[in-house]
A and B are shown apart, each in its own frame.
Chain A
Amino acid sequence: MKKIYLDNQSNTALDEKVFEAMKPYFLEYYGNPQSIYALGGQSKDALDNARKQVADFINAQAPEIIFTSCATEANNLAIKGIADAYKNKGKHIIVSAIEHFSVLNPVKRLEKEGFSITYLPVDNNGFVSETELQKALRPDTVLVSIQFANPEVGTIQNIKKLAELTKKGSIAVFHTDAVSVCGAMPVDVADLGIDALTISASVMYGPKGAAALYLKKGIRITPQIEGGVQENSKRSGTENIPAIVGFGKACEIAKTEILQNAEKIRSLRDKLINGFTKNIPYIYLNGAVDNRLPGNVNFSVEFVEGESLFLLLDAKGIMAASGSACANKNLKLSHVLNAMNVDVAVGQGSILFTLSKYNTEEEIDYVLEEFPKIVQKLRDMSPLYSYFVQTGERKQAGPGTDFHDHCEIQE
C-alpha cells in the first residue's frame, strides 16, 4: 500500500545525511564530553561543532545556544526560567491564545504562583493584533512570548514588529516559539530583534531528542534542571551527543537548501489548496492565505467530522491530522481553531495536511484524487448533510450545547 506522510508538523522524516552524521556517536565516539581524556574530547568537539551549526543557522553566537531534550523543555525553560530571573522587576507575562501547550501550561503554573497572565486574542486568520499587544504591555511586564508561526493553521506572525513594539513599550524579554518556522524558512535572530527563541531538530529533518533555546547574551535565566556544569549550568544533564550532532547537521543542511525547499513545498501546498477548493464544495481554509507556512494545508470540511476523515485517509495510506474534538485525546476542539472563532460545528471537520521536502507531485495528485471521495462517503452518511440538502439550511445546535458549556460538562 502507498505510504504518503503528510503530518510533518508532528515530526519530519530523518534526513539520511543527518543519520550518517549521527552514526559514529553511538558506537565509536561514546565518550562523555565532560571527560578530559581523548574520547571525551571527541564528543566535546562534536558538541561545540553542533552548537556552532545551530547558531550559524539562526545568526546567533554559539554561547547563546542552550541544548535541551525537546522543544517542550526549551519552552518550559524559557517561560519559567525568564519569569523567575526577572520576577523582582515585575510579575506580568503576555502570551498569545494560540501558543503550544508547552507555553500555555507553564504560564498557568506561574499564574498559580502569583504572576498575572494576559492572553492576546487572535483574529479569524490567527494573527495577533499589534494594538492588543501595545494595550497589554505594563510597567511590570517581564516576559512576552508569541509563537512565530502556528503549526496547525500555518499563520506566520510579524515577529519583528511584535518584538519591536514590546521593546518600545516595556522592559520585557521577548521569546518566540519558532519550532514550526525553523525547518521551513530562514530565521535571523539578530534581524528580528528577539531575546529568546525555541528551535527543535525533530521537525527539520533532524532526530528526536534534541532542541535548543537561543538566549541572547546578557538575558538572565534560572535553570529548571539543576545539577552539573553542562550547558554552562543553564541546563544540567549528560548531553545527548548523537541527537545533538544530528541537530547540528540538520541546521547545516537547512542553511543551504531551505529556500529552494520552501519554494517546492509551497507550490505543492498551493496545488493541494486550489485542488480542494475547486473540487469540494463547503470547505473552508483555516489560517492566513498570505504569510502562511509553506507546507501547511488546513481545511474545515463542513458536515463531516475530522477523525473520520483522517481514519479513511489512513486506510488509503495517507497520514494526516485533525483539530476536531474527537481527534484530540482531551475531546476538545483545538484551542487554536477556537481562538480563531471558527464555528464549532464546522471546526469538527478540520483536517490538516503538512508537507515536507520529501513529498512529490504524484503524492499530491493521489491525495487530490482520493480525498473528495472520502468527503463524499462521509457526507452521504451525515444527517447534517442530508438536512442541508433537503432544506438548504444548516442544522442548528440544540439548547445548552454551547461548546464551552459542553467542555465544562465533560470536565
Chain B
Amino acid sequence: MAFYSEKVMDHFANPRNVGEIKDADGVGEVGNPVCGDMMTFYIKVKDDKIDDIKFKTFGCGAAIAVSSMVAEMAKGKTLDEGMKITNESVAEALGGLPPNKMHCSNLGADALHKAIENYKSKLGK
C-alpha cells in the first residue's frame, strides 16, 4: 500500500492556491524550519467571507497537501466557518494521513485560524 492516499499525492503534486497575497488582510504562520514543517497563510476578506486565500509551505508531502486542502476548504467560507475547520476534518478530507504525520504536518487549520485572528485583531474586534 502506498504511504500516502491518492488524494494526498494529488494535492501534493498539484497544490492549489500556492502563493502570497501582497496586501493580505490577515497572515498566519505556524511551525518552523527546525521541525521540518512551516506554513504561512494569507487571506483577503470581503463581507466577512474569505474572498481569497494563498499559502506558502516548507515541508513534507503531507504538509504541502494539508495546506492545499485547507485553502480549498476555506475559500468562500465565512470567517466563522473558517474557524470551524479543524486539523482532523482536513485530514479526513484528504482520505486520511499516516499516523506519524497527524501530529507534525497537520497544522494547516491552525495556520488558517491564525490568519483569521490576525485579520480580526487588525480590525480591533
Give the B-binding residues of A (Cβ under 8 A): 303-305, 307-308, 311-312, 315, 324-327, 329, 331, 333, 344-345, 348, 380-386, 395, 397-398, 401-403, 406, 410
Contact = CB atoms under 8 A, between A and B. Distances in A.
5 contacts: A305-B63, A311-B13, A315-B13, A381-B18, A406-B35
B34 A401 contact: yes
A311 B61 contact: yes
Interface string B48-66: 0000000111111111100
Most buried by A among B12, B55, B56, B103: B56
Interface string B32-46: 111111111000000
Contacts of A311: 4, 9, 12-13, 61
Of listed B36, B63, B105, residue having the most chain A CB within 10 A: B36
Q: Which 8 A-B pairs have the closest CB atoms?
A: A326-B60, A345-B33, A307-B60, A383-B56, A383-B40, A348-B36, A325-B36, A382-B58
A363 B109 CA distance: 41
Contact of B35 (A329, A385, A401): A401
Contact of A401 (B32, B39, B60): B32
A398 to B, nearest CB: 5
B57 A382 contact: yes
Contacts of B63: 305, 326
A383 B57 contact: yes
Contacts of A333: 36
Contacts of A398: 32
Main secondary structure of the interface of B (DSSP, over half): mixed
Contacts of A410: 103-104
Contacts of B40: 383
A308 B64 contact: yes
A304 B100 CA distance: 20
Given A382-B56, A383-B38, 14 more contacts: A308-B60, A326-B59, A326-B63, A329-B100, A333-B36, A344-B34, A348-B33, A348-B36, A382-B58, A383-B29, A395-B33, A397-B32, A397-B34, A410-B104
Given A305-B58, A308-B61, A329-B100, A402 B34 contact: yes
A241 to B, nearest CB: 33
A309 to B, nearest CB: 10
B72 interface: no
A331 B100 contact: yes
A345 B55 CA distance: 20
B20 interface: yes
A34 B40 CA distance: 66
Given A331-B104, A380-B18, A324 B32 contact: no
Interface string B12-32: 110100101000000001001
A383 B58 contact: yes
Given A307-B60, A345-B33, A383-B39, A312 B13 contact: yes
Contact of B34 (A315, A382, A383, A403): A403
A389 B57 CA distance: 15
Contacts of B36: 305, 324-326, 333, 348
A248 to B, nearest CB: 35
Contact of B56 (A312, A345, A381): A381
Nearest to B18: A381
A1 B102 CA distance: 31
A384 B33 contact: yes
A305 B101 CA distance: 14
Contacts of B37: 305, 326
Interface in B86-110: 100-101, 103-105
B35 A384 contact: no
A81 to B, nearest CB: 33
Contacts of B13: 311-312, 315
B88 to A, nearest CB: 19
A385 B103 CA distance: 24
A312 B13 CA distance: 7
A349 to B, nearest CB: 9
B105 A406 contact: no
A1 B40 CA distance: 35
